[in-house]
């Protein structure tokens, strides 16, 4: 059977259910969102003459969840109009509508009997072949499928999203023994290609993979803190970015998750395990007391941390009093900061003979051992475990990658000295004379499967630039960028300067890359796999030149930048920009002249120079203005002042899109440009776009004049800026910058409608 999902239903409209519905709407899939009928009407509803028979009352729980989506931060929707793709309803009146959907996702209360009762009703109305999944965070998939029809069982599995669904990459797919292999294969591919997720296949065990190991690690950390007298702030200062974990570290993470939620996750494993393992999953007394007090974290505005004014206070779990948060300061922290690469930093810290080394060793060693013990039980291999922790908990390295970093043989020797029992899986690695769980050979990555090394499976759409360069080399590089042959006649210009900021080295490589591509390639992709695409120009360099009054040097830098952007625009071969994450200032200016933009769905793009007292200097003003003109319908009267005002507002307020979709609405992208839901596929998608443009006979655009608003437009924009200044919304310097920007966008002292060239603006 060929599966496809044209419409979906989400059953349960809580934070998770509505978030999943929003993510489906973001990718264009219509969604039916159902929840229970309220038990009674409110006084306000009664006053309006409404009863429990009115649909507005019966659907209000799901409908209310939709309205909350518009207010949530971070935004679950890539644009507010996506809300129109979600239809609210209720279980009593609308369950028969499930016959028209291709996928039903259950996201109701974590109670086996309640879930089974709902599945019985679904089974009666669903059409054969409809895929049914549960977003349970730990209830047995096998148990939930009991008693259902054969076709239901064949199409039933767990699909565990992580919150918030739009932003967190992990999707755990948990098949039952009765799930058809082709359904598992379809949902895996659908999860990666359409939902944009990192999919791991998990086994049907308590809390699956990420929550099982993550919860264990958090509870081990709590016990270690209590046992050895560390403060909450001290623990967080060394369990966050210092070791490749999120900035929220341990206790800020718990505050964000909510201690009440964490309690249920831990209890799920506690109830299904025994012995020493079970003891770990029992909450420490101080956490139980916090829950009893209602100090459950961010949603209660009080948890392990409490904000008073501008000061952050930490809880003393002995006295239950708050005091200013402290940080751990040891020699090993300073030593680690001097190391290159995360692996060397972690290794330095873990073996340090100080309080940092003590706590990190005592946290990491049991977590690594626990991960090894569960390999094969909760996941098919270590790759699934490592990916689950990276994609679900935001770790930069999974447990087995951490183990490789600190040295397997060295760490096991220390574990043996301390009386730990070494899992057979780990011992077999050492017995074979192997040193690491992963190895690279011929630019391919392999993992240890318990017997030997096996090739890490990779989706063909995932291009790992680090491995790719090792295998294919580079055409040319300098400190700021590298030109790489991507194969199939396409080259890639990769930025790798600090923060991917644009300086003379990158400008030099842009010029070289376009020349090289025009001679020897079909097209060029500009992209990278850093934290952000590009955060702008190298402002430090510009500041130094300005402080030294090097006006001619500044003029040369700006002209060089502008000329490089024009080289991109008028290249005889297509140039495709592949932005993602922060694409600010100069980063946006690199994208605007490209023949095509293939943006990640999570692209935060804007010309933000006004925020640092500048106006765009790399062609961003003319680029965004002409993009707005290009997006207007042909053959109708156009108010150029309206266009100029929109661009002026965008640049003067340093407006940044909250998604790639919003970047399109802000005219940084046009409707021919593409958006990749899966960021891991971005380079591949951009490469395909370059090939497609070449195959269609791409020709460089002709240089054309365009209309400006002139004197009258300048006065209009200036009037708005002065009003903002007089109202106290902008500073005197902001007004000065706004005047300069208005002069540029208006075209200066010319009549309204004057046609000008790009170089003029």
Instruction: Give the integer Cα–Cα distance in Å for 664 and 655.
Output: 13
Options 3.40.50.300, 3.30.2350.10, 3.60.40.10, 3.40.50.720; CATH of 8-201: 3.40.50.720
Diameter over CA atoms, the chain: 85
Asked whether the predicted pLDDT for residue 636 surpasses 80, the reply is no
Instruction: Give the integer Cα–Cα distance in Å for 656 and 607.
Output: 7
Token pair for 31? 């969604």
Please, are residues 21 and 45 in contact by the beta-carbon 8 Å criterion? no
Looking at residue 538, its pLDDT comes to 78
Binned at pLDDT 50, 70 and 90, residue 556 comes out as confident
Give backbone dihedrals phi and psi of 8, rounded to 5 degrees, phi first.
-130, 165
In terms of pLDDT, which residue wins out, 541 or 301?
Answer: 301
Q: Closest Cα partner for 27 from 684, 678, 677, 660? A: 677
Asked whether the predicted pLDDT for residue 548 surpasses 90, the reply is no
Residue owning tokens 């791409």: 698
Instruction: Give the integer Cα–Cα distance in Å for 141 and 201.
Output: 13
Global confidence as pTM? 0.93
Is the bond leading into 661 cis (omega within 30 degrees of zero)?
no
Asked whether the predicted pLDDT for residue 292 surpasses 90, the reply is yes
- CATH fold, domain 465-608+656-700, is 2-enoyl-CoA Hydratase; Chain A, domain 1 (3.90.226)
Looking at residue 546, its pLDDT comes to 72
Residue-wise pLDDT tens digits, 34-55: 999 999 999 898 998 988 999 9
Asked whether the predicted pLDDT for residue 471 surpasses 90, the reply is no
Token pair for 239? 């369990």
Residue-wise pLDDT tens digits, 637-682: 788 999 999 999 999 999 999 999 999 999 999 999 999 999 999 9
Cα separations in angstroms, 373 against 366, 387, 460, 484: 10, 17, 31, 41
Give backbone dihedrals phi and psi of 759, rounded to 5 degrees, phi first.
-65, -30
Percent of the chain with pLDDT over 90: 89
> CA angle, corner 282, sides to 279 and 287, nearest 5?
145
Q: Closest Cα partner for 8 from 79, 116, 91, 86? A: 86
Residue 316 DSSP SS3:
strand
Asked whether the predicted pLDDT for residue 227 surpasses 90, the reply is yes
Binned at pLDDT 50, 70 and 90, residue 543 comes out as confident
Which of the residue ranges 85-94, 593-602, 721-730 would you say has the lowest mean pLDDT?
A: 721-730
* CATH entry 1.10.1040.50 includes domain 210-454: yes
Do 8-201 and 210-454 share a fold? no
Binned at pLDDT 50, 70 and 90, residue 79 comes out as very high
Other Cβ atoms closer than 10 A to 727: 8
Sign of the torsion angle spanned by Cα atoms 298, 303, 309, 313: negative
Asked whether the predicted pLDDT for residue 1 surpasses 80, the reply is no
Give backbone dihedrals phi and psi of 503, rounded to 5 degrees, phi first.
-135, -170
Binned at pLDDT 50, 70 and 90, residue 547 comes out as confident
Binned at pLDDT 50, 70 and 90, residue 761 comes out as confident
Looking at residue 424, its pLDDT comes to 97
Other Cβ atoms closer than 10 A to 92: 10
Which of the residue ranges 441-450, 505-514, 553-562 would you say has the lowest mean pLDDT?
A: 553-562
Binned at pLDDT 50, 70 and 90, residue 472 comes out as confident
Residue-wise pLDDT tens digits, 115-129: 999 999 999 999 999
Looking at residue 557, its pLDDT comes to 83
In the chain, where are the structural domains located? 8-201, 210-454, 465-608+656-700, 610-653+702-761
Which of the residue ranges 87-96, 227-236, 413-422, 623-632 would you say has the lowest mean pLDDT?
A: 623-632
Q: Closest Cα partner for 601 from 22, 100, 67? A: 22
Cα separations in angstroms, 532 against 260, 584, 676, 696, 717: 34, 9, 15, 31, 33
Asked whether the predicted pLDDT for residue 288 surpasses 80, the reply is yes
Token pair for 466? 């680090």
Residue-wise pLDDT tens digits, 342-360: 999 999 999 999 999 999 9
Looking at residue 2, its pLDDT comes to 86
Asked whether the predicted pLDDT for residue 405 surpasses 80, the reply is yes
DSSP of 606-664? E--GGGGT----SSHHHHHHHHHHHTSPTTS---HHHHHHHHHHHHHTT---SSHHHHH
Instruction: Give the integer Cα–Cα distance in Å for 572 and 261.
Output: 57
Binned at pLDDT 50, 70 and 90, residue 306 comes out as very high
Residue burial 657-678, b: 16+ Cβ < 10 Å; e: rest: bbbbbbbbebbbbeeebbbbbb
Across the chain, what does the average pLDDT equal?
A: 95
């Amino acid at each position: 059977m060929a599966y496809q999902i044209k419409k979906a239903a989400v059953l349960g409209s809580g934070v998770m259910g509505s978030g999943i519905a929003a993510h489906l709407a973001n990718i264009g899939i219509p969604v039916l969102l159902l929840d229970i009928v309220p038990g009674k009407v409110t006084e306000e509803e009664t006053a309006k003459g409404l009863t429990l028979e009115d649909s507005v009352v019966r659907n209000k729980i799901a409908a209310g969840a939709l309205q909350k989506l518009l207010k949530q931060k971070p935004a679950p929707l890539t644009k507010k109009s996506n809300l129109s793709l979600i239809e609210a309803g209720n279980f009593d009146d609308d369950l028969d509508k499930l016959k028209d959907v291709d996928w039903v996702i259950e996201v109701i209360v974590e109670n086996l009997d309640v879930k089974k009762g709902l599945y019985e009703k679904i089974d009666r109305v669903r059409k054969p072949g409809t895929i049914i999944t549960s977003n349970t965070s730990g209830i047995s998939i096998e148990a939930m499928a009991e008693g259902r029809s054969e076709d239901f069982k064949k199409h039933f599995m767990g699909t565990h999203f992580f919150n918030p669904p739009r932003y967190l990459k992990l999707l755990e797919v948990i098949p039952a023994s009765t799930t058809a292999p082709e359904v598992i294969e379809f949902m895996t591919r659908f999860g990666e290609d359409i939902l944009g997720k990192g999919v791991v296949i998990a086994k049907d065990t308590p809390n699956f993979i990420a929550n099982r190991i993550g919860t264990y690690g958090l509870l081990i950390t709590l016990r270690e803190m209590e046992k050895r007298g560390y403060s909450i702030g001290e623990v967080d200062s060394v369990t966050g970015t210092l070791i490749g974990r999120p900035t929220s570290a341990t206790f800020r993470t718990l505050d964000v998750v909510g201690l009440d939620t964490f309690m249920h996750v831990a209890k799920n494993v506690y109830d299904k395990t025994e012995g020493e393992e079970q003891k770990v999953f029992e909450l420490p007394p101080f956490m139980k007391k916090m829950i009893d007090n209602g100090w459950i974290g961010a949603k209660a505005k009080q948890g392990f941390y409490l904000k008073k004014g501008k000061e952050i206070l930490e809880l003393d779990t002995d006295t239950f009093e708050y005091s200013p948060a402290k940080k751990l300061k040891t020699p090993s922290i300073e030593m680690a900061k001097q190391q290159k690469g995360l692996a060397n930093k972690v290794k330095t810290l873990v073996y340090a003979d100080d309080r940092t080394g003590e706590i990190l060793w005592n946290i990491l060693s049991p977590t690594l051992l626990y991960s090894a013990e569960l390999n094969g039980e909760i996941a098919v291999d270590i790759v699934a475990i490592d990916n689950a922790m990276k994609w679900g908990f935001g770790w930069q390295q999974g447990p087995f990658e951490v183990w490789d970093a600190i040295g397997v043989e060295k760490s096991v020797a220390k574990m043996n000295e301390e009386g730990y029992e070494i899992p057979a899986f780990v011992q077999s690695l050492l017995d074979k004379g192997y040193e690491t769980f992963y190895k690279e050979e011929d630019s391919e990555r392999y993992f240890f499967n318990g017997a030997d090394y096996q090739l890490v499976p990779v989706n063909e759409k995932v291009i790992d630039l680090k491995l790719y360069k090792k295998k294919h080399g580079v055409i040319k590089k300098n400190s700021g960028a590298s030109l790489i042959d991507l194969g199939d006649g396409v080259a890639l210009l990769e930025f790798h300067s600090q923060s991917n900021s644009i300086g003379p080295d990158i400008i030099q490589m842009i010029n070289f890359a376009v020349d090289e591509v025009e001679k020897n390639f079909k097209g060029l992709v500009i992209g990278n796999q850093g934290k952000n695409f590009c955060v702008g120009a190298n402002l430090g360099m510009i500041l130094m030149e300005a402080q030294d009054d090097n006006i001619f040097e500044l003029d040369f830098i700006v002209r060089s930048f502008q000329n490089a952007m024009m080289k991109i625009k008028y290249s005889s071969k297509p140039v495709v920009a592949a932005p993602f994450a922060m694409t600010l200032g100069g980063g946006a200016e690199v994208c605007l002249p490209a023949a095509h933009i293939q943006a990640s769905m999570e692209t935060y793009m804007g010309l933000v120079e006004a925020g640092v007292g500048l106006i765009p200097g790399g062609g961003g003003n003319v680029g965004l203005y002409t993009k707005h003109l290009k997006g207007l319908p042909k053959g109708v009267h156009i108010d150029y002042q309206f266009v100029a005002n929109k661009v002026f507002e965008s640049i003067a307020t340093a407006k940044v899109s909250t998604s790639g979709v919003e970047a399109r609405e802000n005219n940084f992208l046009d409707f021919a440009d593409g958006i990749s839901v899966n960021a891991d596929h971005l380079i591949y998608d951009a490469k395909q776009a370059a090939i497609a443009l070449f195959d269609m006979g791409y020709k460089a655009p002709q240089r054309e004049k365009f209309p400006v608003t002139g004197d009258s437009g300048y006065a209009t924009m200036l009037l708005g800026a002065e009003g903002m200044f007089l109202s106290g919304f902008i500073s005197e310097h902001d007004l000065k910058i706004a005047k300069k920007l208005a002069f540029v966008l208006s075209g200066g002292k010319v009549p309204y409608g004057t046609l000008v060239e790009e170089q003029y603006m």
